[in-house]
Amino acid sequence: MSPSEIKKKAADLLAKQDFSGRYGLCFLNLTRLKIGHGTIVTTFGEFERAFPGHTLETAGLCSGATVTYAGRYIIFYDPSVEDDCAVALLHEVGHVILGHCTGKRRGPEIEEEAELFAYEFLMPECVIRYLDALKGEPLSPQEFGAYFRGTLPEHFARRLQISERTPEPADENETEILRRLFAVKG
C-alpha cells in the first residue's frame, strides 16, 4: 500500500472520532476510538482476567498486540505506559484498518505500513503544517508535545518525515480535521 493511501486511511479514521479545539488530538481517548470491524481495545490485564491461566507474550515494555477472536479484532495495550504507547496502540489499529489481520501478507512491509499509519493518525501532516504556518516557522519537536500524543523521539522522527515531504493541499477529511481543531472554514 502506498504512503499516500495509508495517509488517506488514517485521515478517514481520524475524521470519524470525536475531538475539537486545538489540543483535541492530545486529549483524544485512544481506548475509546471508533475503529469499526468489531474491534475492541482493551488492556493486557483484562485479557488475563477474561482468560485465567493464559498470558499474552509481549515483547518489550511498550507493545500492543492484536488477536482475532469470535470474528472480532481485539487490540491489547499496556495502560501503565499509555502515553508512551500511543504509537504502539495506533500501530495495532493500523494492522486492522489496513487489512493486515487476514494474514495474507506478512513481514517487515506490513510493520512499516502499520507504523506509518500510527504516525499519520496521531500527528496528521495537515495539522503540523497548519501549526507551522501559525507560528511562521516549523514547530519544534519539543512543541509537538502540546498538540500530539507520542514520545519526544517520535515527535523528532515525525518532524523530520514532514520536513522531507512536499506539501499537498488538504483533502476533504483533512479539511474537516482542521475545522474541528482550529475552527478553520474549508
List interacting residues with Zn ion (CB under 5 A).
Answer: 111, 114
Q: In whole angstroms, what is the distance from residue 151 CA to residue 84 CA?
A: 6
Q: In whole angstroms, what is the distance from residue 140 CA to residue 29 CA?
A: 24
Nearest-approach distance from CB 20 to Zn ion, in angstroms: 30
Q: Assign residue 103 a region (left: φ > 0; alpha: ψ between -120 and 50; beta: otherwise).
A: left
Nearest-approach distance from CB 1 to Zn ion, in angstroms: 14
Nearest-approach distance from CB 35 to Zn ion, in angstroms: 15
Residue number, 82 or 111, with CB nearest to Zn ion = 111
Nearest-approach distance from CB 100 to Zn ion, in angstroms: 8
Residue number, 96 or 131, with CB nearest to Zn ion = 96
Q: In whole angstroms, what is the distance from residue 64 CA to residue 74 CA?
A: 10
Residue number, 46 or 111, with CB nearest to Zn ion = 111
Beta bridge partners, 73, equal 68
Q: Cα dihedral angle (15, 12, 32, 58), rounded to 10 degrees? A: -150
Nearest-approach distance from CB 115 to Zn ion, in angstroms: 8
Nearest-approach distance from CB 111 to Zn ion, in angstroms: 5
Residue number, 35 or 114, with CB nearest to Zn ion = 114
Residue number, 114 or 170, with CB nearest to Zn ion = 114
Q: In whole angstroms, what is the distance from residue 84 CA to residue 81 CA?
A: 6
Residue 125 CA to its chain's centroid (Å) = 12
Question: Would the CA dihedral through 136, 141, 144, 148 be positive or negative?
Answer: positive
Residue number, 58 or 175, with CB nearest to Zn ion = 58
Q: In whole angstroms, what is the distance from residue 66 CA to residue 89 CA?
A: 9
